[in-house]
Amino acid sequence: MQVLSPVGEFKVAVDGVRIRDGRLVVHMSMGAWRSEATLERGDLPYVGVAASLLFGTFYMGRQSVKIALKARELGSR
C-alpha cells in the first residue's frame, strides 16, 4: 500500500498487530515515519466491506485469467 501526501508518496509496511485496551492496533512504517492505526468495534463494518471488496476483486481477476487461458487453449487447437 502507498500513501500520497503533500510531502511525497510513501510505501506503507505493516510492522505488527496487537490488541490494546480491547482495540486492534496496527503498527506501520511510512518511509522514515512510524505510525499506528487503532481500530474500534465501530470500524469493523468498514473493515469488512474493504476486505470483501479486496477479495471480490482478487476473485474476479483469477476468474478472468482462467477464462482467458481456456480461450487461448481452445484457439490453439
In the three-class reduction of DSSP (H, G, I as helix; E, B as strand; rest coil), residue 52 is classed as: helix
Give the residue among 19, 26, 24 at the shortest CA–CA distance from 41. Answer: 24
Report field, pTM of the whole predicted structure over 0.75:
no
Give the residue among 25, 32, 24, 23 at the shortest CA–CA distance from 3. Answer: 32
Residue 30 — very low, low, confident or very high, per pLDDT cuts 50/70/90? confident
Instruction: Specify the pLDDT at position 8.
Output: 83
Q: Are residues 34 and 27 in contact, defined by beta-carbon separation less than 8 angstroms?
A: yes
Opening angle at CA 66, ends 60 and 70, nearest 5: 145
Q: How far apart are CA 24 and CA 29, in angstroms?
A: 17
